[in-house]
Amino acid sequence: MVVGVGIIVGEIRLPSLGFRRPRGDKRVFGEKIKYNMKIAMIIKGKNISFMVVVFLSSLFLGACGVDKSGVEIVSKPIAKVYINGKESGMTPYKNNTLKPGEIEIKLDDRFGNYWERKIKLESNVTSVINWSFDGVKDSGYILSMEKTGKDGSILVNSNPGGAMIYVDGELKINTPAKIENIDEGDKKLAISFPGYKNINLIIKVVKGYQLIVDTKLEKEERVENVYNISPIPARQLGSKIKIKETETGWLRVRSEANNGGTELGRALPGETYELISEVNGWYQIKFANKNGWVSAKYAEKISE
């Protein structure tokens, strides 16, 4: 009898991570999870792009003595699934009757956006694909397993490369990397890269098998405040200035907002002028049918 190793994907709440079980769900940790279950996500101060729970279970993928492979696909948006060029269904898609070996998978949302990839199916193993694509950017992950006959291990590839790999909260190494000699049991696997959303997985390591994680991280969108600063503010309609008393008994009106500007004339104390704008301690006024500048030190704003 051929007993296969499969990967079941779902979402549950773990108290330390802030995820909620659906009401009435009384399953214990480690049981089989409903495929592609939709559950509310609670983010508590952490940037978590998505959360999956991966369980290894005894899963028959074919009749006695016949090697079979499986694939499970979830996509955003929902898409048509093509396997080796043949239309095979819609996402979420599941097929456990495929032949081991390399296959080509294409996802098409029928609006001109598509994703395609060649993957290798291992005998008696179900591989999982979870991908988001919109024609401009895409992100997601592919999970599969291979029999090694050695202690449990994890092989992680990422795009961009150099992402940090954490196992049970401990930083191990940067991608691409193979982490060997991992004890059997449930492990928390996190993949992190600055400026990108984290991928967080809960996996069950099994002796004799290597879990392969191939992922493309989703870039975080940053909103930056853009301020348009003009050296000369917009005209303030309805405002006027009044010339103050000066030592000379008059105030020069200049062509520019500095002492080097050409003198256009002289304003007398007590006179009022229309205020056009102000900048760097100077007022621009309407003077003798021209725009001139006077020092704000010797003028004051008044209401009309």
- Give the per-residue pLDDT at 10: 35
How many other β-carbons are positioned within 10 Å of the β-carbon of residue 93?
A: 21
What is the chain's mean pLDDT, rounded?
Answer: 76
Q: What is the pLDDT of residues 14-55, one digit of tens each?
A: 333 333 334 443 333 233 333 333 322 222 333 323 334 343
| Among the listed residues 281, 288, 279, the one whose alpha carbon sits nearest the alpha carbon of residue 253 | 288
Measure the CA–CA gap between 156 and 143, rounded to whole angstroms.
Answer: 10
User: What percent helix, strand, coil does the chain show, rounded to 5?
Assistant: 0, 55, 45
- Distance from first CA to last CA of the chain, Å, rounded? 97
Per-residue confidence band for 162, with pLDDT thresholds at 50, 70 and 90: very high
Structure-token pair, residue 48: 């978590």
User: Does residue 252 have a pLDDT over 70?
Assistant: yes
User: Does residue 66 have a pLDDT over 80?
Assistant: no
Per-residue confidence band for 119, with pLDDT thresholds at 50, 70 and 90: very high
Measure the CA–CA gap between 304 and 172, rounded to whole angstroms.
Answer: 71
Per-residue confidence band for 223, with pLDDT thresholds at 50, 70 and 90: low
Question: Which of these ranges, 133-137, 196-200, 220-224, 244-248, has the smallest mean pLDDT?
Answer: 220-224
- Give the per-residue pLDDT at 225: 52
Residue type (1 letter), 138: D
Enclosing H/E stretch for 73: strand 69-76
Measure the CA–CA gap between 116 and 289, rounded to whole angstroms.
Answer: 70
More confident residue, 277 or 221: 277
Measure the CA–CA gap between 227 and 225, rounded to whole angstroms.
Answer: 6
- Give the per-residue pLDDT at 279: 87
Domain positions in the chain: 4-216, 240-302
- Give the per-residue pLDDT at 20: 38
User: To which CATH superfamily is domain 240-302 assigned?
Assistant: SH3 Domains (2.30.30.40)
Residue 71 and residue 122 in contact, taking contact as beta carbons nearer than 8 Å: no
Average pLDDT on 249-278 reads 91
Per-residue confidence band for 222, with pLDDT thresholds at 50, 70 and 90: low
User: Does residue 217 have a pLDDT over 70?
Assistant: yes
**Which of helix, strand or coil describes residue 298?**
helix
Measure the CA–CA gap between 69 and 181, rounded to whole angstroms.
Answer: 26
User: 298 phi and psi, to 5 degrees?
Assistant: -115, 25
Angle, CA of 123, 128 and 133, to the nearest 5°: 140
Per-residue confidence band for 209, with pLDDT thresholds at 50, 70 and 90: confident
User: Does residue 103 have a pLDDT over 90?
Assistant: yes
Per-residue confidence band for 238, with pLDDT thresholds at 50, 70 and 90: low
- Give the per-residue pLDDT at 179: 93
- Give the per-residue pLDDT at 54: 40
Asked if omega into 92 is within 30° of 0 (cis), the reply is: yes
Burial of 142 (0-12, 13-18, 19+ CB in 10 A): buried
DSSP string, 177-233: EEEEEEPSEEEEEEEE-TTB-EEEEEEEE-TTEEEEEEEEPPBPP---------SSP
